[in-house]
C-alpha cells in the first residue's frame, strides 16, 4: 500500500525543518526575480556551482530592468561555465518581457509566467511556490524520484513525465498555500540530499517505514534500457563550451585561426561554430579583405 498524503508529508516536512539548506534564494528577503534566476540557473546544474554565480548575478542585476539593458556579451561572460549558455540569452529575453509586459515585476499567475520566454511548466510552478508561497505542483527530477519510490515502489520515474504522474503528485500537494509551498521545497530537498538517484541514503530517510520501494527490496530501475546515457567528452557540447570559453576570455575579436585551434576535428568544430552563430551566442564578423580571415566575438 502506498503511503497516504499525511503519512508521507508530515515526516518529510519535519525533516525539512531540521535539514533544509540555507540557500540565498530561500532567504526571507528573496525576490520573485531572484527565485526565477535561481530556477533557470539550477536547470541541469548543481547547487554548489549555482550559488556563487547566483550571488554575483543578483549583485550585478538585482532586477529584471537591470538585466534587460545589459550588454549581451556581459551576460554571457557572467554566465561563465554554468553550461547551456542559451539559458542566459533566454533569461535576458525573459527580463525584457517582464519589463515590457509587467512593469518590471515578475507576474504571480501561472498563465502570465508561462507566457514569458524560457519559462516552462516546472519553472512557473516553482516561482509560484517559492516566490509567492502559492499552491502549485512542483515536479523536478528530485520530486519525481521521491514520489516514484515512496508511492509507486519503483527505483526511478519513467524517462518522460506523464499525465498520470502529474495527477498522482497533485494528490500529495497540501490544500493550503503555505504548506503546499513548503512541501514543494521539502520533497525537492529530500530528493537532492537523501533520496538521490545513484546512492540513496535510506538509513537517513524520514519516510523509510512507509516507502513502497524500500518495502519491495529496492528493485532495480525498470526503465534502465530506455534511458539515454549522457556523455560529455568528445560531444558537440564540449566543443561549443571550448569556443565560448575562448571568446568569453578574449579582450577583443578572436581570429578564426584561434578558434580553429580549440578542437582537432575541423568538421565538428565548423558545425558547432555555425550552431553557436545561429543560436545568437557568438557573432562571426566578415573579413575586412581577401587577405584577412573572419573574426569571432560575443554578441554586443
C-alpha cell at 199: 546512492
What gap in Å lies between CA 59 and CA 67, rounded to an integer? 11
- Determine how β-strand 295-297 pairs with β-strand 254-255: antiparallel
Exposure string for 69-78, b = 16+ CB within 10 A, e = fewer? eeebbebbeb
Residue bearing the bigger pLDDT, 291 or 83: 83
Asked if 149 and 157 count as a contact pair (C-beta separation under 8 A), the reply is: no
Nearby residues of 54 by Cβ (< 8 Å), 6 or more positions away:
24, 25, 34, 37, 38, 41
pLDDT exceeds cutoff 80 at 170: yes
Q: pLDDT at position 153, please?
A: 96
Report residue 231 as a C-alpha cell: 556523455
Residue 128, all three cell numbers? 509560484
Overall average pLDDT of the 10-39 stretch: 97
pLDDT for residue 227: 60
Residues 6+ positions from 277 with CB-CB distance below 8 Å: 283, 284
How far apart are alpha carbons 246 and 281 in whole angstroms?
13
pLDDT digits (tens, 9 = 90+) for 136-162: 999 999 999 999 999 999 999 988 899
Q: How confident is the model at residue 288 (pLDDT cuts 50, 70, 90)?
A: low
Say whether 110 is catalytic.
no
Q: CB atoms < 10 A from the CB of 200, how many?
A: 21
What average pLDDT does this structure show over 35-62?
Answer: 96
Quick check: 290 pLDDT over 70? no
| pTM value surpassing 0.85 | yes
The helix (H) or strand (E) run that includes residue 296 is strand 295-297
Mean pLDDT across the chain:
94
The least confident of 31-40, 49-58, 157-166 is: 157-166
> Does the pLDDT value for residue 225 go beyond 70?
no
32 confidence band (pLDDT: 50, 70, 90): very high
With 90 as the cut, is the pLDDT of residue 229 above it? Answer: no
Cβ–Cβ < 8 Å for 6, 149: no
Per-residue pLDDT at 1 exceeds 90: no
Mean pLDDT of 126-136: 98
Question: Which neighbouring-strand residues pair with 195?
Answer: none
- Phi, psi at residue 296, to the nearest 5°? -130, 150
- By the 10 Å C-beta count (0-12 exposed, 13-18 middle, 19+ buried), 290 is classed as exposed
> Do the beta carbons of residue 244 and residue 282 sit within 8 Å?
yes
pLDDT score at 251: 87
pLDDT at 201 over 70: yes
pLDDT band with cut points at 50, 70 and 90 for residue 21:
very high
Annotated active-site residue in 7, 39, 93, 165: 39
Helices 5-19, 177-193: axis angle to 10 degrees equals 70
Amino acid at each position: 500500500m502506498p503511503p497516504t498524503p499525511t503519512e508521507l508529508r508530515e515526516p518529510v516536512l519535519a525533516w525539512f525543518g531540521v535539514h533544509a539548506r540555507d540557500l540565498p534564494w530561500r532567504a526571507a528577503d528573496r525576490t520573485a526575480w531572484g527565485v526565477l534566476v535561481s530556477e533557470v540557473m539550477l536547470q541541469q546544474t548543481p547547487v554548489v556551482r549555482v550559488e556563487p554565480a547566483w550571488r554575483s548575478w543578483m549583485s550585478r542585476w538585482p532586477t529584471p530592468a537591470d538585466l534587460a539593458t545589459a550588454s549581451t556579451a556581459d551576460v554571457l561572460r557572467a554566465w561563465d561555465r554554468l553550461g547551456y549558455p542559451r539559458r542566459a540569452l533566454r533569461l535576458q529575453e525573459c527580463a525584457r518581457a517582464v519589463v515590457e509586459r509587467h512593469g518590471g515585476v515578475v507576474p504571480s499567475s501561472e498563465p502570465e509566467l508561462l507566457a514569458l520566454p524560457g519559462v516552462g511548466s516546472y519553472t512557473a510552478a516553482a516561482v509560484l511556490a517559492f516566490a509567492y508561497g502559492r499552491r502549485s505542483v512542483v515536479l523536478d527530477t528530485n520530486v519525481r524520484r521521491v514520489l516514484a519510490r515512496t508511492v509507486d515502489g519503483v527505483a526511478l520515474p519513467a524517462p518522460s513525465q506523464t499525465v498520470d504522474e502529474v495527477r498522482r503528485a497533485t494528490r500529495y500537494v497540501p490544500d493550503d498555500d503555505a504548506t503546499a509551498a513548503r512541501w514543494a521545497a521539502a520533497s525537492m530537498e529530500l530528493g537532492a540530499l537523501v533520496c538521490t538517484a545513484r546512492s540513496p541514503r535510506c538509513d537517513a530517510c524520514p519516510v523509510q517505514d512507509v516507502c513502497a520501494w524500500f518495502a519491495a527490496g529496492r528493485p532495480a530501475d525498470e526503465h534502465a534500457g530506455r534511458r539515454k546515457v549522457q556523455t560529455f567528452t568528445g560531444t558537440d557540447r564540449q566543443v561549443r563550451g571550448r569556443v565560448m570559453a575562448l571568446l568569453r576570455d578574449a579582450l577583443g575579436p578572436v581570429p578564426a585561426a584561434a578558434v580553429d585551434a580549440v578542437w582537432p576535428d575541423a568538421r565538428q568544430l565548423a558545425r558547432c561554430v555555425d550552431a553557436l552563430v545561429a543560436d545568437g551566442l557568438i557573432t562571426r564578423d566578415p573579413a575586412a579583405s581577401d587577405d584577412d580571415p573572419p573574426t569571432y566575438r560575443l554578441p554586443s
